[in-house]
Structures are given as C-alpha cells and as structure tokens.
Structure 1
Amino acid sequence: MAEQAQRRWRAACPNCGAPVEFASAASASAVCGFCRSTLLRSGDTLSRIGQSAEIFEDYSPLQLGSTGRWMGAGFSVVGRVQRGSELGNWNEWHLLFDTGGEAARVAWLSEDNGQFVISLEVPLAERPPEAPGVGLPLTLAGQRWQVAAVVDAALRAAEGELPRPPQAGRVVEVRNVQGEVGTLEYAETGPPIWSVGRAVQLAELALQGLRTTAEGESIAEAKFAGRSIACPNCGAPLEPKLSQTRSMTCGQCHAVVDLPEGDAKALGFVAQSPGREPLIPLGRTGTLAFDGDKPLPWTVVGYQERCDIPEDADDEQSFWREYLLYNRLAGFAFLVDTREGWSLVRTLTGAPAPAHGGVAWQGRSYGQRWVYGAKTTHVLGEFYWPVRLEDHVQVADFVTGDGQYLLSREQQGPEITWSGGRPLPAEIVQRGFGLSAPAAQFARDASAFSSGGKLLRNIVVGLFLIVLLFALLRACSSDDCQQYKDSFGENSNEYRQCRAASRGSGVYVGNGGGSYGGFSSGGGGHK
C-alpha cells in the first residue's frame, strides 16, 4: 500500500522491496537506489521496466537532496541522468521547484561545455525538422536559432526521481543571440521533448547540501583522489586530479590517454614526444577576473599547443597555447597565449547573430578576422573532453573594431562551439599566477588585436620597416629569430619555424595577421 505524506509519495520497489519515494506527483519514473531497477509509476502502482547502470563518480558538487534558489523560487535536486556521445559525457540534474500549489514544470540543471545551464521543458506546437544541419539557421517556437550540435546521445546511467523513463536518442542543440540554448530530444517513442535554458553560475544559486567532506573538499574529488589507472603505453600509474577528466597525459612516456569510466582499464592512447614546459605550471592557481566579474581563483589543469593548417606550403604557420582553467563553482575557462598577446575566454551558451561582414553579440559588432583549419600538436594535463592529437577543426575568429572583445567559432564533427573573451595584459597574467619568468616571455602586445584604422596603418608600416631592417642586417646578424628564441624558447615551434623560413628565403617576418587561436574547447560534453 502506498503512503501519501504531505507532497511526497512512497511505495515499495517491486524488485527488491526497498522504499522508493516521489517528491512530485508529476514524476512518472524513478530508479531504485538499492537494486538500480528503473521503475515506471502508474497511479499507485510501480512496475519494473529495466535496469540502470551504476552512476559513475564525477566532479559535480551536486547530489540528490541539494537545494537552491533561482529567479526567486526554491528548488531541490531530485534526480539525475548521465548521458554521453563521441564528444564526451555530461549530467542532467532534475530539479523540483516549489511552485506554491501550481503544477510543477520540468526543470533541469545541466552541463554545457564546462559551464552550467538551467532549462525548462516547454510545449512545442509545431513539428520540428527531422534532420537539421549543423551550423544552419532554424526557426522554432517563434525564435531564430542556429543549430549547434546533432549527436546520438547514449544513456549512461540514472538515479532518483525523473519526469519519465530515461532513454537514449538523438539530441539536437540550438542556440540564439539572446544567450539561450534549446534542446530537442528525440527518443524511440513519443514526440520530441523541447527545452530552453540559460547559463547560470552555481555560486548564484544559493546551493545547500552539496557534496563535501569535513574539510570542505568535494566528495567526488575526495573519492577520486585515490584513483589510479595504468598507462596502456608504459604501465606507469595515471592519477587524475578531477574525476570528470576524459583525457590526460602520462607523466612518464607523455602518451595522450583516453580515460575510461569507473575502474575499467585505459585502452586508447596516442604517443607524443616530450615538449617544452608551459610558462604557467600545471596545478598552479592564480586569480583572474572576467569582464565585469569579481576575481576568482583558477587552477591550471590542462595545457595544449595548437597551430593552424596552412592551405599551401608557402603559407606562414601560426602557433599558440591554451591553458585549461578550472574553478569548482564557475566551471572551466581558457587562458590563450599567442604572439599577439594573452586573452581570457570561456564558452558561450548562446550564439552570435550573423551581421554584415561578421557577427553581432550582446550589442557589439564583430568583424571576421580569419577563417582557418587548426589542430592540436602537444598536450599536458587533464581535459574534460576527449583530446585527440592531429584532430582537425575549422575555426573562424572575430574581433570588435577597437580590438577589446574577441569571439571564436569552432566546429569539430557534429558540434559548433562559440567562445568569447577579452585580451589580457601580460603583467596581469604574470601577477595573477605569481610567476617569476623573464618578462620577455610574457610581454606580448595585446593591442595587436585591434583592427582600428590608425593602429592598423601603424602595424603595416611597422612590418615594412621590420622587413627592411631584417634584410639589411641579415649579413651581420647571428640569429634572425632571436626575438622568438627569447620569447618562446629555443625548442618552441615559433623559433623552429622562423629558423626554417630564414634558411629558405633569407628573411622571415613575424606574424602580421595569424590567428590568435581557437577559444573553444574543441570538444567536450554539451548539455
């Protein structure tokens, strides 16, 4: 016999007899916390319809029973679905809002490229397209969207109370200029489920009941601290610091290893040669602030070196570096280091609108600067998406007229990721991370991002003078590429490329229009 107590409803699991509790009368499914049976609720009856896999531990500070507030309303976390695709894995937390007697709307708190999104399920009057193309515009629910991803999402596991039995199926993700992300979920049965969400910061949700130890450390991280996996290349132990890590570099043989879920053995890896050490060491924590936000502590958990892919052999090749930063409540960000300067960026929830000669985003116009292919050439540390050496992505970079705001669009396979940020003075990077390296390694000119008329003319004139000076002094110069050697090191790609060009043509000109790097993750789990 089921029990009705206040708003909650309780019944025995038909498989093991353990109590299964529903906090919402609208919830139609649950996963038994004892035997992992997937249960379907029909009136006062529970029936077993399947078996859920074990939840794999991750970095999320959330857990069933956590509470918070959003838009003036309180909520509690009552369920979770873990999904995955070739782009990575992600969580969808089912939220139950205190609606004051009104019918509860189905709400989710989900991961979105290292950030967080709260979305509400909304009735959809029209029939959506069956096969929208990635990158194409789409009108749906009276709004203009851009298709950001089309993936086959597998069901990894589930727990707690859910609005319906979880299923695998195709997921279409769309984004708009208002900073919203929409999701169409196509399951094997029933019409597509439509939801619309916006980015949130966990620190803004007044969260209570998070997973912590007595010392305040995340339980997920505490459990994960002892995890050790043998490197499939050399056998050395791999000990990831974050449990959401999907790829990491072996400290012994430098192989890039795909990490499994749970305690399975790591099988996939790609060998790579040792590279030079990054300017900011892995594990270093520094304080940086995004535009308008308060400074936060960010820890360097990953590092990758990337380059563009020249269209022909005569084109100059550009190189840059990206540091993956992590903050427990703010998610992930990227600190990008190029020959033009430093920049701090993070992924966008929405998508800019096309505009004449570029795009528009949050009241600013961005001109298109470059379009190019790019690839990753070297990695260190850990990444929340599966990193692949030599994987090709297509990148388009945009910049405002004053050079103070940057956007980047990166497409890899079935997903498009937009990222944005601002140039960052080198001294802020150096001071924020407490670094004592020579100033020449940091002090690159972030003002070179500007495409303003006067500055652009000065750059052109400056480049001409540099070419002339290098040509005149080549005969008496022992090393035409000394500036790159001082800034990036003798073993850097920039210095080697410069030396190769000098031997071939006699004169090498530094990057006068190369990329400042793709700001997006190049992968990662979406919602």
Structure 2
Amino acid sequence: MQIVSCPGCGAQVQFRSHASVMAVCEFCRTTVLKDAASVGAQGKLSDVLEDYSPIQVGTSGVVGGRNFNVVGRIQLRYENGFWNEWFLVFDDGASGWLGDASGQYSVTIERAAEGALPAFDEVEPGKLYTVNGERYTAADKRVAKCTGGQGELPFKVGDGWEARVIDLRSGASFVTLDYSDGATPQLYTGHAVTLAGMKAQLLRDDEQIKASAGKYRGKLDALDCPSCGSPIKYLPGVTTQLVCPACAAQLDAAGPQAQVLQAGEKVERVRTTLPLGATANISGTPYTIIGAMTRQDDEGTEWTEYLLYSTRGPFFWLAETDGGWSRADVLDTWPAWSWTGADNVTLDKASYDKLYEYPSRVNWAAGAFNWRVAAGDQLRVYEFALGQATLSAELSDEELSWSRSTPVAFDQVKTWFGANVRGGAPMTPPASAERAGAGAGKFLMWLLMLNVIPLLFNFGASYLPVAIGALALYLPRKFFASESKEKK
C-alpha cells in the first residue's frame, strides 16, 4: 500500500500496492495517476520497500542480560536495497550495533582480531573463512553509501560516506568485517536476535510505519480531460479508449497518462492466483501481499512467489508451484554446510539430505520487495529435505540466504485470503511426481516382460489374467501422464 495526497483536494489517497498506477480519491472522486517515469519498468523491475523498520531512536531492550537504548542510526544503501545500523548504548557504558536488514536483526560488538582476516576482494559468499579461530560462512558482501545519519553516533558520517562490509554466519553467530577505513577490517561479533527476544519497547506504531514505508516519491497527476478539464472515469481491464463524457474529446494514446494506464494494464494481465495488495489474517497477525514474481529453472519449470509483509511480524514467502503451495521463512539460525557440493546439511542436530541443485531466473516481478528484484536476475538454488520440510540455500555473487519451507494446503490459502483467491487448486503434479510415475511405468513394463517369457513356454489359462492385470496397472498411468503433459 502507498499513501499520497490527492492533487484535487489534498486528502489522503491509498494505492492498493506499489504496482498500482491509479487510485480514486474517496472525497472528491478524482482519479489519481502516477507519473510515467515511475511505472515504466512495471513487470521488469520491482520497487524497494523503504523505512519499514519498527525500531527508532529511543527504542530500548535487553540483550545478554544487559539493558540497552537506541541512540542513533546510519542508513546504508547499496545497488539493490538498503539496511539500517542502529547505535546502541548499554547501561554499563559499553556500545554496540543493531543490524536491521529485511526484517532480520543482529547485535554485534567490536572485538580485537586474533590472527589474519581475509581481504575484502578475496571473500566470496557461500565459502568458509576462519575468524578468531572459528569457521564462518560468508553471507553477503556489500559496497554501500550512507544516505543519512540520525541521533548520536560514535563517528562522523555524511551523505556519500562509503561502507565496505562483509557479513559471515555460523548457526546463530554473526560476524561483520568492516573495511570502510582501509584494507585491515574492524571486527564485530555477535548473534542473530528478534524483537520479541530483546523485549524491545518504544517501537514505532503501525500508522507511523505505514506512513513512511508507503511513501510515494514520484509525481502525481489527475486523470482529467486535456480539452475541458472534466474528470474521466477509467475501469481497468474494461476501458480501452478514454473519451471525455463532457466534451467527447479522446485521450491521446501516446500521451503520458495513457502510457501510465497501459503500464498498469500490463501488470494486471499477469494473472497470479493471489493479487498484489491482497490481505490476510495469519495466526492473528494481519499480512499484505506487497510483491510477486515468477521464477523458472533450467528445465523450464515456472513457479510464483509472493512476499507477505506485516508491521507486526517478519516477512515470509508463499510459493505456488504445479505441485501445490508452501510457506518459506528466512532462517535466523543457519544450517551447518561444509561446502556447496555437500550431500547434506545439519540444523538443530537434524540432518537434511540434498534434493536438488539448479539455477533460477526471475521472469517477471511487480510490487515491492525488501530488495530490488529485476527480470533476468539469476542465482543458484540448493534444496535439502527432511520429511516434509525443505531447507533452501539461494546463492548469488553478492549474497547467500537460507530459508525453511513447509507445505500449505490450498484450502488454507483460501481461508487466509478468501475472495481474493483467483482460480482453483493446482492440478498438475510436480516434476518429482512425474519422475516417480515414469519409474513406476518402467517397472511395470519389466514385470510384464518377465512374465511373458515363461508364459511362452507354458501358455495356458493363466496368461490372460496376468496380461489383463498388468495392462490395468500400466494403461491408467500412461493415460494420466499424457493428460499431465497436455495441461502443461
């Protein structure tokens, strides 16, 4: 959701999502349009959700039995997103940093390095490095610029100040190497935390978060007749020609207003099962779908992922595949992964076996995400399974992330989103099911052949029941396999 001021009367107007191009003012009925420049990349490039953190200067809490207060903030922006570093002062006079990125938090304190640390250019996400005698996995590598400081800070910063940082993870342990002052990094160590675990108080309320996270920074226009100034009504998906009801003037199809509407229509033509802006109450917490994208693997299999956001809960994903739905939560505690070629990983003393490894490409993206998503983005996915749970590592040149997925029944999705759900439950089996079906078919063929050989020498009444039984098993599988291919 985005909030703007109506160009007609000044009242607040809400866009349903970051991908929406128009909204109608509830007070003066003016149709409000975004500017052409801000919607030109609809479907190819997402927006970045900004300033959605509940933390503020003055927030307090407890970490490791010590009380702290947030006294300052640095906001750092890199090519595809941003994060906050909040400066903490503890009751005993010590200080630290609260990292705040994509709804995940970590508290770190400066430490002295014991031994050599890796050079910035040598570090690659996904590889292991030794820091103070412990092995850590490189999680991300960023070159970012400071876009502003707030409150009390331990050093002077200004717009344009550049930070060069690397984050490393091991379980819940967190390490930051800060190369901003030169080749020898400053070392910060700590661990992942949650707002609830810190007993955080004096957080921003929902309305404050919505006002800043949903702020639209582009230009606005009213959909008025260029000839007489009368308002023009527009029905998305229905109105193909815009004609003024007062003077019958037609809106120029090549004009900026028509281009904005066409951009909105283009996004609407991608019919996802769940629309952007759809809301749901999940475990007592209100969530909104703020972003959606389609991804594809190297075999051409495509699926849809929806990003859900709440001012009161963490981000999470809903994935829709031919085989059904699943929920994915980003992990605060990482699995033990010896290297990218390992056949298993361990999390909470449980071993997950490798299931798949494949490249993934973004085909389409709309709405807002906690980083900038673009069509053509590629990364490598590693999946490990234990029962119905799946751990997924997504690796790019800049970042490694881990998530845990569990199945969600389509009936549950319908309960959450109600009338917002478009279409029925997926009917096509997943690729793994097709592979299993193909294996079953081959087994039945071998079984039939093995029975035919002795029957050739003992041809009698027993042959007919065996043949009928084998065909009864094989032909239905063959029929449903062909039906599945036709649906694809």
- Superposition TM-score, scaled by structure 2 size: 0.66
Match of 2:59 in 1: 66
Unaligned runs of 5+ in 1: 1-55, 235-249, 256-270, 290-294, 311-316, 485-497, 499-527
Q: Summarize the alignment of residues 299-378 of structure 1 with structure 2, pairs less than 5 Å apart.
A: 299-310=288-299, 317-354=300-337, 357-378=343-364
Partner of 1:153: 144
How has the CA–CA distance of structure 1 residues 175 and 470 changed in structure 2, closer, same or farther, with 3 Å as cutoff? Answer: same
Give the superposition deviation at 1:467: 8.7
Is 2:162 aligned against 1:168?
A: yes
CA distance in 1, matches of 2:88, 2:272: 41
- Contact conserved, 1:203 with 1:329, CA < 8 A, in 2? no
Identity %: 30
| Cα distance per residue 1:192-220 (max 9 Å; x no partner) | 222223333324433333334xxxx3324
Where in structure 2 are the equivalents of 1:411-422 lying within 5 Å?
411-422=395-406
Per the TM alignment, residue 139 of structure 1 is displaced from its structure 2 partner at its CA by 1.4
Contact 2:138 2:166 in 1 (8 A): yes
| CA deviations over 1:12-48 (Å, ceiling 9, x no partner) | xxxxxxxxxxxxxxxxxxxxxxxxxxxxxxxxxxxxx
What CA distance in whole angstroms lies between the structure 1 residues aligned with 2:214 and 2:142?
32
Distance 1:251 1:343 in 2: 34
Larger radius of gyration: 2
Which moves more between the two structures, 459-468 or 423-432?
Answer: 459-468
Could you tell me how far 1:307 is from its partner in structure 2?
0.8
Q: Kindly report the root-mean-square deviation, in angstroms, between the aligned alpha carbons of the 2 structures.
A: 3.7
Aligned to 1:287: 281
Counting matched residue pairs gives 368
Shift of 1:442: 5.3
Q: CA deviation at 1:441?
A: 1.7
Residues 1:198 and 2:191 are matched in the alignment: yes
- Report Cα offsets for 1:210-268 as digits up to 9, x if no partner: 334xxxx332422565635149xx9xxxxxxxxxxxxxxx983448xxxxxxxxxxxxx
Residue 107 in 1 paired to residue 90 in 2?
Answer: no
Q: Does 1:408 align with 2:392?
A: yes
1:434 correspondence with 2:415: no
Q: String of CA shifts for 1:105-133, please: whole Å, max 9, x gaps.
A: x3222223432222232222223111223
Give the deviation of 1:323 after TM superposition: 0.7
Residue 353 of structure 1: SS of its match in structure 2? coil
What is the deviation of 1:470?
A: 7.4
Paired with 2:105 and 2:397, the residues of 1 have a C-alpha distance of 23
Alpha-carbon distance between aligned partners in 2 of 1:350 and 1:396, rounded to the nearest angstrom? 17
Gaps of 5+ in 2: 1-48, 224-258, 445-472
- For 1:416 and 1:225, the matched residues in 2 are separated by 28
**Is structure 2 residue 93 aligned with structure 1 residue 116?**
no
Within 5 A, what are the aligned runs for 1:66-85?
Answer: 66-85=59-78
Shift of 1:67: 2.0
Within 5 Å, give how 1:223-234 maps onto structure 2: 223=212, 225=214, 227-230=216-219
Q: Which amino acid aligns with 2:303?
A: W
Q: Flag the 1:436–1:381 CA change in 2: closer, same or farther, 3 A.
A: closer
Amino acid at match of 1:353: A
Aligned-partner Cα distance in 1 for 2:281–2:442: 35
Mapping for residues 238-317 of structure 1, pairs under 5 Å: 252-254=261-263, 275-288=269-282, 296-310=285-299, 317=300
Is the 2:429–2:484 Cα contact (8 Å) retained in structure 1?
Answer: no
Secondary structure of 1:162's counterpart equals coil
Distance 1:228 1:467 in 2: 61
Residues 1:125 and 2:134 aligned together: no
Structure 2 counterparts to residues 424-463 of structure 1, below 5 A: 424-435=408-419, 437=421, 440-441=424-425, 460-461=439-440
1:139 to 127, 130, 135: 130
For residues 91-106 of structure 1, the aligned pairs below 5 Å read: 91-99=84-92, 103-104=93-94, 106=95
> 1:461 is paired with a residue of what secondary structure?
helix
Quickly say closer, same or farther: Cα 1:253–1:125, change in 2 above 3 A: farther
Q: What TM-score, normalized to structure 1? A: 0.61
Q: 1:423 aligns with which of 407, 416, 431?
A: 407
* Counterpart position of 1:390: 376
**Greater share of residues in helix:** 2
